[in-house]
Amino acid sequence: MVYSPEFLEKIRHEKGFDPFSTNFNKNKFANIIRNKKDYKLANSLIILNINIFNPLLNNVNILTKKSSLSYSQLVKYTICLSNYETHLTQYSFKQKLKKSKEINLITENDTVFENILDITSFQLEFFTYLSFSNKNSLLSFDEKEVDIVSQILHFSNCCFEYKKHYEKAIWSAGEIILNKDNISFNFGDNRFLKSRDIGIKNIQNTLLGAIGDNHIESEVKNFTLNRMNTNPIIVGEINFSIDEQISYRKRAISDCNYVSDFLVFAKSYYSHILQDKLPELYDLNILDCFIIFSEIQHIVNLYQKPVLLSTEEGILNNLKEYLPKISVSSFEKSLIKVLPYKKEVICNFLNKCIYLNSDSKPFDLHIFPLIIVDDNIYFTFNQLERSSIHLMIDNWLSVGDINNSIKGINYEKLVKEKFNHITDSKNSKISVLPIKKIDKFNGQIDLVLKIENLYIVAELKAEVYPINSRKYYSSYHYGDLYKGANQLIETKKFIIENSRILPKELSGITEDNVIFVLITNFPVYDGLKIKGFPIINEETLLNYFYTDRMKIKSVSKGNTQIIEEIMYYNNEKEFIKNLKAYIDNPPFLKFMSKSSSVNKYIYSVNHNMPSIEFEIVEF
């Protein structure tokens, strides 16, 4: 027995069924429960709300009233402590990197920083549930007040951990089971659980593969030189205000270390949409957005962090140095002086990067890295110093109001060009059939490949980057991939049942010599199926045609070594025979699955609250 679709739809999308919201209303369940499984899940959600969310929220409310902290004070303290933790983590990572030759430490470090950003975003969102009476905005940084803030952040962090695993279970169609001493979040299908993490590893490997690539380094150099006005001289000073004192930092042009990651990521996964105009961003394109945002990063990077101290007294005295602020007008003027865009274009884009306290959108520092409090801009070191800029591309496309049909048309054109390139270069029996519309068939076919007597019929879907479990699973269960699977059902049925009236290019097609597949721009869904149809990234599929093997490399500082080779095929006969198995279970996924495990952990705040048991993929 599974949860009823209507029940899952409600608890995934409506605030009244979210146990980690003050809008939660247990009385609403009576109208949507359809079976015993629904009843058990509803009971679990009520327990999560009553025994976890409400006590944690109550503890935070008590501390807030006890300290008389205002909303703006709490937000500023949170940013400050997040910046301190980021700085401490950066320092620890650099020390670790000095002692290790493993370059994949970089990806481990990225994961840690993303977690800090996720937690800080949730904490800022969590504060919107609180009630404040004090309007004071100045921070004392005395030991007692900082200690209370630390306790508040601890409780909100606990709530984040509970909610994170709850959402993974709900969106992955897993189970939430009430046991005697804990609440268990089960995913059931380990392959489904692993697919996103392995896909992200694949993306990280793509970025790491650019390190030392002369072609990429040349592109980065050209981009950096051309990103400013033709005369990029020193243009003045940026005023970072700490407390009520002003700290001056000279503005100078410096290299953008994050350009490489952005260009590699953008060209690998968004090349179909890089040049299209974004109407709500004054017709900027994605590369324009990056040019402006890279200068925002550059300004923030001018701020000189304090020296890390080891004593509690030293840390407390230094804490205010982790809360720099810049006036909105100062930020705007600095950008206008160095960027080749009109004032209204730059100011409009800057506003799209700023979070304004609003009920219409949640706090998300991944896409709103600048925060206005008391008419000043505050920022987190985390998002604005690292290369996670590529996580913002989908937000630029969204706020820029790009037409989804344009994305789809461009992606289809790009994929066909890639496969046509193989046809030309290989001079083989692979061909892209010029079929779009079939008589008496209401739908359209995005791509048909013919390899000797084998056919591949594909739906092409350009997805957004799955920055969290909600976006990842919603695309699978509701989004374009799901719609693509429904389209493939109709396509398959028509082709198989109407072989006699198909165009001559498809005259040899039968149920036994055709593969129906969903092709997408990210490798995070490789190896999964929707309604029986496999999903594969176009680059993963192209790799099969380009080479007969996968090379597993060990990358250390200054050294790359092949440690294993996995053969796809040895001859033309195996090339055809092994293709379906490759699509169903790509070797990279198979290799990473062997070197990964799904391990269970227990998380608990104290004996008064139920602990949770959850699963994590570890490599």
Residue 372 backbone dihedrals phi, psi, to 5 degrees: -95, 125
- Whether residue 235 is found in the same domain as residue 322: yes
Q: Is the dihedral of CA 552, 555, 558, 563 positive or negative?
A: negative
Q: For 323-332, what is each residue's pLDDT tens digit?
A: 988 888 888 9
Lowest mean pLDDT among 68-72, 399-403, 431-435, 556-560: 556-560
In a domain, residue 478? The reply is: yes
In degrees, rounded to 5, the angle at the alpha carbon of residue 363 between the alpha carbons of residues 358 and 366 is 135
Mean pLDDT of 304-322: 79
Residues ≥6 apart with Cβ < 8 Å to 30: none
What pLDDT does residue 503 have?
Answer: 86
| CB-based contacts of 604, cutoff 8 Å, min separation 6 | 182, 610, 611, 612
Give the CA diameter of the chain. Answer: 83
| DSSP structure string for 388-426 | GGGGGHHHHHHHTT--HHHHHHHHHHHHHHHHHHHHHHH
> Can you give the pLDDT at residue 255?
43
Q: Are residues 425 and 369 in the same domain?
A: no
393 and 261 within one domain = yes
Same-domain check for residues 330 and 448:
no
Query: Does position 100 have pLDDT exceeding 70, yes or no?
Result: no
Question: Is residue 214 scored above 70 in pLDDT?
Answer: no
Roughly what angle, to the nearest 10 degrees, separates helices 259-269 and 286-301? 160
In a domain, 83, yes or no: no
Q: Are residues 496 and 372 in the same domain?
A: no
How far, CA to CA in Å, does 463 sit from each of 272, 274, 279? 12, 14, 20
Instruction: Please list the residues that pair with 460 across neighbouring strands.
Output: 519
Which one is predicted more confidently, 446 or 196?
Answer: 446
Residue 95 lies in a domain: no
The whole-angstrom separation of Cα 543 and Cα 440 is 35
Domain presence at residue 134: no
pLDDT band with cut points at 50, 70 and 90 for residue 35: confident
Q: Which residue did the predictor score with more confidence, 179 or 348?
A: 348
Identify whether residues 530 and 548 lie together within a single domain: yes
Out of 75-89, 253-267, 485-499, pick the least confident: 253-267
Q: Is residue 612 part of a domain?
A: no
Judge whether residue 359 has pLDDT over 90: no
Task: Kindly report the number of other CB atoms within 10 A of residue 483's CB atom.
Answer: 13
Range of the domain at 446: 404-599
Q: Is the pLDDT of residue 253 over 50?
A: no
What is d(CA 24, CA 1) in angstroms, rounded to the nearest whole number?
26
Residue 375 shares a structural domain with residue 503: no
472-501 pLDDT tens trace: 888 887 789 999 999 999 999 999 988 888
Would 162 be classed as within a structural domain? no
Cα torsion angle, 571, 417, 198, 481, sign: negative
Q: Is the pLDDT assigned to residue 223 strictly greater than 60?
A: no
Q: Which of 381, 399, 417 is the last residue of a domain?
A: 399
Q: Look at residue 188 and tell me if it is in a domain.
A: no
Shared domain check, 568 and 444: yes
The reply to whether 226 and 353 lie within a common domain is yes
- Average the pLDDT over 542-557 and give the result: 76
| Span 454-480, average pLDDT | 86
Q: How much of the chain exceeds pLDDT 90, in percent?
A: 31
Is pLDDT of 241 > 70? no
Q: What is the DSSP string of 547-589?
A: -SEEEEEEEETTEEEEEEEEES-SSHHHHHHTHHHHHHS-HHH
Band (208; pLDDT cuts 50, 70, 90): low
Residue that wins the pLDDT comparison between 15 and 238: 15
Domain assignment of residue 130, yes or no: no
Residue 400: predicted pLDDT: 92
Tell me which DSSP letter residue 102 carries.
B
Structure confidence by residue, pLDDT tens digits, 389-430: 667 888 899 889 988 888 999 999 999 999 988 877 655 678
| pLDDT tens digit sequence for 117-133 | 889 999 998 998 888 88
Residue 459, pLDDT > 90, answer: yes
Give the pLDDT confidence score for residue 256 in this predicted structure. Answer: 47
Mean pLDDT of the chain: 82
Is 242 a residue whose pLDDT tops 60?
A: no
Percentage of the chain modeled with pLDDT above 70: 83
286-306 pLDDT per residue, tens? 988 988 888 888 888 777 778
Residue 5 · residue 139 · CB < 8 Å:
no
Is the domain of 411 the same as that of 335? no
Q: Are residues 390 and 417 in the same domain?
A: no
The pLDDT score that the predictor gives to residue 230 is: 36
Q: How does residue 258 score in pLDDT terms, banded at 50, 70 and 90?
A: low
Q: Does pLDDT of 225 surpass 50?
A: no
In this prediction the pTM is 0.86
Q: Render pLDDT for 566-604 as a digit per residue (tens, 0 to 9).
A: 889 998 889 999 999 999 999 888 888 888 888 888 988
Range name among 315-324, 338-347, 465-474 with the lowest pLDDT average: 465-474
Enumerate helices (H) and strands (E) in the chain, giving the number of each: 22, 18
Q: How many domains does the chain have?
A: 2
Task: Please say which residue of 399, 433, 458 terminates a domain.
Answer: 399
> Residue 224: what pLDDT?
47
The total number of residues shown for the chain amounts to 619
Last residue of a domain, one of 380, 399, 418: 399
Q: Is the pLDDT of residue 105 over 50?
A: no
Q: What is the pLDDT of residue 233?
A: 32
- What CATH number is associated with residue 571? 3.40.91
C-alpha 92 chain-centroid distance = 24
* Same domain membership, residue 493 and residue 389: no
**pLDDT over 90 at 152, yes or no:** yes
